[in-house]
Amino acid sequence: MLWYAVKLLYRMEVSGEPKASLLDDFYSGLDLFFEESVLLVPAGSFEEAYEKAETEAKKKANVYENKYGQTVTVGFYKSVDCFALFESPQAFTEAYSAIFCGTQPDIARRYERCTAEEMHVLRQK
């Protein structure tokens, strides 16, 4: 049995009109977000690691009302990658590694993050 780091994407969609009385300066109006997550999974193969990670990810599906009275739907979107750890997890173990090519703008776009203000629409009541 080896350890694998499986990278997953979750999709968060905001739907419905916000209640005017709940709007504040932080309301961004954004309605689609993705979360990248890496899970450490003990498994006998890459295929088993993906299967276990996806099963766990699907348990995190959730629907809730945000602070603006809108519905937020959170669910597993897809598996992105899997990395076999070369050593058992401990402090400073490399849990994930990926090599990709592209231009400077491609890299900037890949690592662009939402601001705290933009994510207010994901906050629960």
- What is the total count of domains within the chain? 1
Whole-number percent of the chain with pLDDT over 90: 66
Residue 94 C-beta-side C-alpha neighbours within 13 Å: 8
Instruction: Give the bridge partners for 84, in sequence order.
Output: 4
Question: 44 vs 22, 47, 112, CA distance in Å?
Answer: 50, 8, 34
Q: The domain containing residue 80 runs over which residues?
A: 2-122
Is pLDDT above 80 for 99? no
> Which range, 15-24, 30-39, 79-88, is most confident?
15-24
Q: 40 falls in which pLDDT band (50, 70, 90)?
A: very high
The values of phi and psi at residue 22, to 5°, are -100, -10
The span from the CA of 4 to the CA of 44, in Å, is 9
Distance of CA 14 to the CA centre of its chain: 15
The strand pair at 2-15 and 62-65 is best described as unpaired
Tell me what pLDDT residue 26 has: 92
- Please indicate whether residue 85 or residue 105 has the higher confidence score (pLDDT): 85
Mean pLDDT score across all residues of the chain: 90
Tell me what pLDDT residue 117 has: 86
Tell me what pLDDT residue 97 has: 75
Q: How many helices (H) and strands (E) does the chain have?
A: 2, 4
What letter represents residue 87's amino acid?
A: E
Is pLDDT above 80 for 100? no
Is pLDDT above 80 for 101? no
